[in-house]
Amino acid sequence: MSIWRVEPSPAELTERGRHSLAGHLGIRITAVGADFLQATMPVGPRTHQPYGVLHGGASVALAETAGSIASMLCVGPGETCLGQEINANHVRAVREGLVTATARPFHLGRRSHVWHIEIRDEAERLVCVSRLTLAILPPREGVPP
């Protein structure tokens, strides 16, 4: 059974973020399964830190993008998802290629969501593990969905 209230295609989800940070970092939504969402990001000069490896902040941006989009697919019409807290443990350096984030829910409540996000390299080695907490705000009168 799927956890999603709506199921747009990965291409539609990628297009929504084209003019945001996700688009600038080259983040693409690649898969939406019954209980997970996957996104990829290229590792290169745009996402490197000065030592030529993946910047931890870029990993966090990928994790928050995957978890936030996943949360958005779980809420009701007009509800808003806002990040409250994110943490990340960076466990492996990556110099080039593509990293993939997989977001799965720990908790999907009425007013908060908690997501577990793992980022892996092309050899499936763990690069970063993150936990994202989002506040779920009810619809507000006069605010478009």
Cα 31 → chain centroid: 12
What average pLDDT does the structure give for the chain? 95
Tell me the two tokens of residue 93. Answer: 């350096």
Active site residue 64: yes
Nearest to 95 by CA among 37, 52, 142: 52
Total domains, the chain: 1
Q: How far is CA 23 from CA 26, 37, 107, 123, 144, in A?
A: 5, 17, 28, 24, 23
**Residue-wise pLDDT tens digits, 106-128:** 999 999 999 999 999 999 999 99
> Does 41 map to a domain?
yes
- Could you report the per-residue pLDDT of 52-86, keeping only the tens digit for each? 999 999 999 999 999 999 999 999 999 999 999 99
CATH number reported for the structural domain that contains residue 40 in this entry: 3.10.129.10
Domain that holds residue 123: 10-137
- Give, for 86, the enclosing helix (H) or strand (E): strand 80-90
- Give a yes or no: residue 56 inside a domain: yes
**Is the residue at 84 inside a domain?**
yes
Which residues, listed in sequence order, are joined to residue 98 by a DSSP beta bridge? 42
Residue 115 lies in a domain: yes
pTM assigned to the model: 0.94
Given 12, 15, 64, 118, which residue is catalytic? 64
For position 143, what pLDDT does the model report? 60
